[in-house]
Structure 1
Amino acid sequence: MLEVVGLSKSYGTGASATHAVQCLEFAVEELEFVGIVGPSGAGKTTLLKCMAGLLAPTSGQTLLRGKPVTGPPPELAVVFQDYSRSLFAWMTVRRNVLLPLTNKPEIRDPARVADEALAAVGLKGFEEHYPWQLSGGMQQRVAIARALAYQPKVLLMDEPFASVDAQTRAELEDLVLRVREQFGVTIVLVTHDIDEAVYMSDRVVILSRPPSTVQEILPIDLPRPRDQVDTKALPEFASLRARIYEAIMQPAAAAGV
Structure 2
Amino acid sequence: MNAILQIDDVSKRYDGRSGPVQAVGSISIEVRADEFVSVVGPSGCGKTTLLRCISGLLAPSTGATRLNGKVVTGPPSEMAVVFQDYARSLFPWMTVAENVDLPIRRRRERAERESLVTESLKAVGLTDFARHYPWQLSGGMQQRVAIARALAYQPQVLLMDEPFASVDAQTRAELEDVVLDVKARFGMTVLLVTHDIDEAVYMSDRVIVLSKPPSTVQTNLTVDLPFPRDQVATKEHPEFAQLRSEIYLEITQGHMARETVRSER
- 1:174 maps to a residue whose letter is D
Show the counterpart of 2:93: 90
1:7 to 6, 10, 26: 10
CA change 1:249–1:7 in 2 (3 A) is same
Corresponding residue SS for 1:28: strand
Show the counterpart of 1:64: 67
Show the counterpart of 1:105: 108
- Give 1:103-182 correspondences, 5 Å limit: 103-105=106-108, 109-182=112-185
- Give 1:26-45 correspondences, 5 Å limit: 26-45=29-48
**Offset of residue 251 of structure 1:** 6.2
5+ residue gaps, structure 2? 258-265
The yes-or-no answer on 1:48 pairing with 2:19 is no
Corresponding residue SS for 2:28: strand
CA change 1:14–1:167 in 2 (3 A) is closer
**Offset of residue 14 of structure 1:** 9.8
Q: For 1:108 and 1:17, how far apart are their aligned partners in 2?
A: 51
**Offset of residue 81 of structure 1:** 0.2
**Offset of residue 95 of structure 1:** 0.3
After the TM superposition, list the runs of 4 or more consecutive aligned residues in structure 1 that deviate by more than 6 angstroms.
251-254
Query: Contact 1:209–1:252 at 8 Å: present in 2 too?
Result: no
TM-score scaled to structure 2, two decimals? Answer: 0.93
CA change 1:252–1:226 in 2 (3 A) is closer
Query: Contact 2:39–2:193 at 8 Å: present in 1 too?
Result: yes
Q: For 2:244 and 2:254, how far apart are their aligned partners in 1?
A: 18
5+ residue gaps, structure 1? none
1:24 to 27, 45, 53: 27
Aligned residues with identical type, % of pairs: 64
Task: Count matched residues.
Answer: 254
Corresponding residue SS for 2:127: coil
The yes-or-no answer on 1:243 pairing with 2:265 is no
- 2:156 maps to a residue whose letter is K
The yes-or-no answer on 1:217 pairing with 2:220 is yes
**Offset of residue 109 of structure 1:** 1.5
CA RMSD of aligned residues (A): 1.7
Q: For 1:240 and 1:13, how far apart are their aligned partners in 2?
A: 37
Q: For 1:199 and 1:70, how far apart are their aligned partners in 2?
A: 32
Query: Contact 2:45–2:215 at 8 Å: present in 1 too?
Result: yes
- 2:225 maps to a residue whose letter is L
Q: For 1:216 and 1:3, how far apart are their aligned partners in 2?
A: 17
- 2:195 maps to a residue whose letter is H
Q: For 2:254 and 2:170, how far apart are their aligned partners in 1?
A: 33
TM-score scaled to structure 1, two decimals? Answer: 0.96
